[in-house]
Structure 1
Amino acid sequence: MKVLLAGATGYIGSGVLSALLASGHTVTALVRSEEKAAAVRQDGVMPVIADMRDRETVRRVAAASDAVITTASPGDENSAAADIDFSEAALDGLREGGVFIHTSGIWVYGDNGDITENSPSDAPAIVAWHPEADARFLEAPGVRSILIEPAIVYGHGKGIPNVITAAEQTGDLPALQLVGPGTQHWTTVHIDDLAELYVAALEHGEAGARYVGAGGVNPTVRELGEAASHRRGFEGRVLPEDATATIERLGAFGEALMLDQQASGNKAREVLGWKPSRPSLVDEIAGGGYDQS
């Protein structure tokens, strides 16, 4: 297929780009600068330099594509508006029968020990806009619209897990400062496994379907912190942090990191034949994948 990909140079998007190319798809990447355009050209990808809120350009490029995948987000107060502008323009441009894959995230379900695609939403402030927008995009007429809801993404030393690796000194014994009390579970997925889910959804996903992108391993933050503590030579010592203090330190991001979540991702396995197989996040940390330079 001819795929328009937004976010191709980002963490999730770059993984999706590699998986699309490996599966034989042709990719056009919407990028924001000549520097990013040069980066994707090296992979044989055609870049289009434009902001994701440039509705006219997005509509035009989407009209020349069989499918549109968006993994892009400015990561600031403009994230909601940018995502909505891009998605509306892409859906307007796509031809009848085209595919639209939108990215949301696991946090929309709030505290939940058994998240499935049918779980009620309870989104914290940082993603509060997602449930309404996600539902609207899934109902778009005339296209095969699909929603991917990634867990906390890890792999290749990147992503949210880096927030757990800052050391804290306490007396004569160094210990690792946890994010929050450490009792909360994080749903997780390796970036390479997640990228394969996007391709599976593109090729086989049903219209109106949502897929939780979770690898099925849900470690506690304490388990992650202890693994990182051993890597730093702290003998597994960790320091819990009061949730209020974490939220004061990290704001809305910290609030989301306090969520206690678990998910299996079974629907994607059963319906799409998805087979996540990479090492767990605990194993990645224990093996040095998140060592600080």
Structure 2
Amino acid sequence: MKVLVLGATGYIGGAVVERLAEQGHEVAVLVRPAADGSRRVPGVADERHGDLADVAGLAAAITPDIDAIVVAAQLGGDKEADLAAIGVLAASGRKVVFTSGVWVLGATADGHEGSPADPIPLVAYRHEIEQLVIDGGGSVIRPGVVHGRGGGIPAVMRAQAAERGAGVYVTDGGEPHTWTFVHVDDLAELVVAVLERGGARVYHGISEEAVPVAEVAEAAARSAGVKPQAEPWPLAEAAQVLGAGFAEALALGQRISATRTRAELGWNPSRPGVVADLTEGSYV
């Protein structure tokens, strides 16, 4: 099938484009034009110009040759504008796969694909976007914290460790919490599986259900070559550096499964976990 990918120049979108091509799908991308007129996505001949902020341009990019749409782009942050953009995609008659995230579930110790939304402020209306996609016959994927290829939040933690001389994890004062994780290449495989075989429902992109964040912070310190220990970083202090919304997200404790997703799609993530990736893999 021919798949239009939004967010193809990003961390997740780039991996998805590669996997789609590997699986024999034809790829078109919607990107902002490069200042020098060059192509922005190597290996993709069909580049269309636009983004989620331009509803008219978005609609024009969905030409009759497009069979499906993958949304790996960041939402703009304006609720009405984002709902309008996703509404155009949901009403297009194409299958839409939207990459959301587990922060829409809020703090949870037993999250799963059927858990009710309880979003933190950073993703306050994300569940409305998800429902819009599902009502239009599309699929939603909620990844855990994404790692791999030296990027994502673990790269931020490694940089903080290098700057501060030890690993740090954001906390609101409680006990060290846990996060869910997925490798970006395992996630890309899931996106393609959902595109090919998924239904109008939520899927979870999670390979590790509950990794203690203190262990991740210590691994980030080892990766950065500094004191191999994890120290708490008070939420109020972290918010001054990272912004209140992002800091609050990093202080969020979660344990979330992907049992239904694995069973339904036969998805078996195989890449290294986040601690091994930080200390022996792509972050070294």
Tell me if structure 2 keeps the 8 A contact 1:28–1:48. Answer: yes
Counterpart amino acid of residue 229 in structure 2: R
| Pairs aligned (count) | 278
Change (3 A) 1:169 1:128: closer
After TM superposition, the structure 1 = structure 2 runs for residues 88-127 of structure 1, keeping only pairs within 5 Å, are 88-94=87-93, 98-127=94-123
Deviation at 1:286, TM superposition (A): 1.1
Change (3 A) 1:45 1:220: farther
Counterpart amino acid of residue 211 in structure 1: Y
Tell me if structure 2 keeps the 8 A contact 1:4–1:69. Answer: yes
- Identical-residue share of aligned pairs (%): 35
Counterpart amino acid of residue 204 in structure 1: R
Equivalence for 2:67: 66
Equivalence for 1:136: 132
Alpha-carbon distance between aligned partners in 1 of 2:198 and 2:281, rounded to the nearest angstrom: 35
Tell me if structure 2 keeps the 8 A contact 1:26–1:45. Answer: no
- 2:188 match: secondary structure: helix
Counterpart amino acid of residue 161 in structure 2: A
Of 161, 185, 188, 1:167 maps to 161
TM-score normalised over the length of structure 1? 0.87
Of 155, 168, 176, 1:177 maps to 168
Deviation at 1:120, TM superposition (A): 1.7
Of 189, 198, 202, 2:195 maps to 202
After TM superposition, the structure 1 = structure 2 runs for residues 1-293 of structure 1, keeping only pairs within 5 Å, are 1-34=1-34, 38-40=39-41, 42-64=42-64, 65-73=66-74, 77-78=77-78, 80-94=79-93, 98-140=94-136, 144-165=137-158, 166-167=160-161, 174-180=165-171, 183-206=176-199, 208-250=200-242, 251-287=244-280, 289-291=282-284
TM-score normalised over the length of structure 2? 0.89
Deviation at 1:39, TM superposition (A): 2.9
Deviation at 1:86, TM superposition (A): 2.5
Please report the RMSD computed on the Cα atoms of aligned residues, expressed in angstroms. 2.2
Deviation at 1:138, TM superposition (A): 1.0
Deviation at 1:28, TM superposition (A): 1.1
- 1:230 match: secondary structure: helix
Counterpart amino acid of residue 212 in structure 2: T
Deviation at 1:18, TM superposition (A): 0.7
Change (3 A) 1:85 1:229: same
Tell me if structure 1 keeps the 8 A contact 2:167–2:227. Answer: no
Q: Which runs of 5+ in 2 are unaligned?
A: none
